[in-house]
Structure 1
Amino acid sequence: MTIARSRSADQIQTTHVEPAIRALLDRLDPGNRLVGGYQLGYWNADESPADCQGKGLRPALALLSARAAGATPEAGVPAAAAVELAHNFSLLHDDVMDGDTERRHRPTAWTVFGVGPAILAGDALIGLAYEALAEVPGGRPAAQRLAVDVRALVAGQAADLSFERRDDVTLDECLRMAADKTGALLASSCALGAVLYGGPPGLIDGLSRFGRHLGLAFQLVDDLLGIWGAPQRTGKPVGSDLRARKRTVPVVLAVTGGDRAGRSLAELYRSPAPLTDDDVVRASALIEAAGARERTEQWAWQEAERARAELDALDLPDDVRGEFLDIATFITGRDH
């Protein structure tokens, strides 16, 4: 499944957003530029050209955000570049912390260049994100907005890490973590173009709420794909979240449900031995038997509906509204 976007939006991403990001990368020292460009999928470790970019979801939302405020899509390019850089900053650090060895169907940056270079490249990318916004006349509010949302993202990641050392994580805690870890940057993506263009506060806040709900739906679907997603589609090993004993929403729903399947899953998670392939298969079956897969799917759909309700309350051009809705549909129906 791909994101339904207008041809002009795709052209702007290709002709404006990617060149803007590449120009920002060229400001970096050679080492951080190499790792950063590898992470973004622009080139391989030997600097030969590559085509391994992500879905382009966040830049697309930022471009739409500018259009929602009455600007041309090009006016949203600095916001689009900033959110894509911020996203990849988080992925670089996330892969190191989780020990993930594969992303987008190729080795993660830390496995290729080392832990230290991957962390430093992430730091470099978030710095470039703020530069992209600060250099736009009147861009300070947008830079401040991104800073607040990145702070929430970091808090969500910190909570996610802390959950790995606990067996008493509640559903409310898990949902707050997901809303911060994923929802904050999607909220920023949905609002930042309008902030940069000086859109009215009501529009900006409504777009931000839309992005928050969309982000939680995105994370819930991601939780499902982390257990049942096909590796050839997700670019990650099968059951990777279960091997890492991640306290994702389906897992927490299962272990707090009070039934036999949930208790068996909790016992499996407490086992000190590394989980085998058979353990991963059993864990996914227990989550499903507890009804947690279906409940997570329903929750993702409900959050997408809440996002649509926020959008319905806003005065938007029909084509902009339609493209926002297309992205919301993609998020809840994606397989990667």
Structure 2
Amino acid sequence: MTAAPSTAPLTAVQVLDRCRELVRPELERAVAGLHPWVREMAAYTFGWCEVGGAPATSSGGKGVRQALAVLGAEAVGGPAHAGPRAAVAVELVHAFSLLHDDIMDGDTSRRGRPTVWRAYGTGPAVLAGDALFALAVDTLAEAPAGAAGAVRLLSTALGDLVRGQADDLLFATRPWTGPERVRPEEYRTMAEHKTGALLGCAAALGAALGGAPPATVAALDRAGRHLGIAFQIVDDVLGVWGDPAVTGKPVHSDLRTRKKTFPVLVALDTPAAGQLARLLESGERPDAAAALIERAGGRSAALREARRRIAVAEATLAAVPLQAEAGGELGALVDFLVRREL
């Protein structure tokens, strides 16, 4: 008797591709119901078209959040519709947040193209973001089961996201040193809200619509929040020391824009604070600032914190019963997201 050939586990890239292919038809159906002008802006946001509606081949992003939603549903053995529905809602909210973030931050490009507000105008971009947010809520409200709980999960994540964005904007107004400076622990809270809340919500939404018990839903939310902090901190490390060929940004890009990132804030809590603050304030010699941050322990502390958050996320996932295959794919996704620099 010949044994059946074993199936190799999917890589993280394959997992992302599979989930995007599963979710895109549902996302297109949801967006199709919008006003034609708003629909075009939404399609532009997702990389489906150019300004004016011509088809595009640009990337709409990795689809991390939608993958977490799909895997969250699959990991609890949910019905086939649960993951894609949760993923559509999360992807719509993520797109809404990016539209508004780009306006608040004054960013003129995203994924190699003009941002929506640059391409269509500020007012239209705000309108498109609002439409995507409303569509996300409507998508969950029409769920055949668990709608009320799912909407509560989303509203909690949105409230945290707003708090995180508010803190991030206010951080820019605070001094580099002194009693009013931003502390690393404040930054961790901001990162959990701004980045972790939606990652946690994604995995939890899939599980909630998949019929998981509240304890499992809460565990997936917690794991996603820890993952979000790790993801943000690793992104901070890449924003200072990352390879431009990989990050798509100039070397030391976060130092050139004077962002208060985790490695910077750790270094500002050391005797190097005065010298580093002068370099950051002047905007000159980002290479010297990067070297000083590393000597002061900012880079190593950031990587330790990211590793700690990953360990907590993995332990949280290990403590709840999950389907083996989907649980393994969740683990592969964690590796892909945050072990880029560890």
| Shared fold, TM over 0.5 | yes
Check conservation: 2:12, 2:336, Cα contact below 8 A: no
2:94 aligned partner = 87
1:141 aligned partner = 149
The SS at the match of 1:71 is coil
User: 5+ unaligned residues in a row in structure 1: which ranges?
Assistant: none
2:267 aligned partner = 254
Q: 1:308 aligns with which of 311, 314, 318?
A: 314
How far 1:9 sits from its partner (Å)? 7.0
| 1:203 equivalenced with 2:216 (yes/no) | yes
Q: 1:64 aligns with which of 71, 79, 82?
A: 71
CA distance in 2: counterparts of 1:176 and 1:325, whole angstroms: 24
1:127 aligned partner = 134
| 1:267 equivalenced with 2:278 (yes/no) | yes
What does 1:1-336 correspond to in 2, within 5 Å?
A: 4-5=11-12, 10-14=17-21, 16-51=22-57, 52-138=59-145, 139-167=147-175, 168-259=181-272, 262-271=273-282, 275=283, 278-334=284-340
CA distance in 1: counterparts of 2:130 and 2:63, whole angstroms: 21
CA radius of gyration, larger in: 2
How far 1:163 sits from its partner (Å)? 0.3
How far 1:12 sits from its partner (Å)? 4.9
How far 1:244 sits from its partner (Å)? 2.9
CA distance in 2: counterparts of 1:160 and 1:9, whole angstroms: 29
Letter of the aligned partner of 2:210 in structure 1?
Y
User: 5+ unaligned residues in a row in structure 2: which ranges?
Assistant: 1-9, 176-180
How far 1:170 sits from its partner (Å)? 0.9
Describe the shift of the 1:295–1:322 C-alpha distance in structure 2 as closer, same or farther (beyond 3 A): same
CA distance in 2: counterparts of 1:172 and 1:30, whole angstroms: 45
Letter of the aligned partner of 1:63 in structure 2?
V
How far 1:235 sits from its partner (Å)? 3.7
If the length of structure 1 is used for normalisation, what is the TM-score?
0.90
Describe the shift of the 1:267–1:59 C-alpha distance in structure 2 as closer, same or farther (beyond 3 A): same
The alignment yields a C-alpha RMSD, in angstroms, of 2.0
Describe the shift of the 1:285–1:46 C-alpha distance in structure 2 as closer, same or farther (beyond 3 A): farther
CA distance in 2: counterparts of 1:131 and 1:246, whole angstroms: 36
How far 1:109 sits from its partner (Å)? 1.9
Percent of residue pairs bearing the same amino acid type = 46
Check conservation: 1:102, 1:236, Cα contact below 8 A: no
**What is the number of residues matched between the two proteins?**
325
If the length of structure 2 is used for normalisation, what is the TM-score?
0.88
Bigger shift: residues 36-45 or 221-230? 221-230
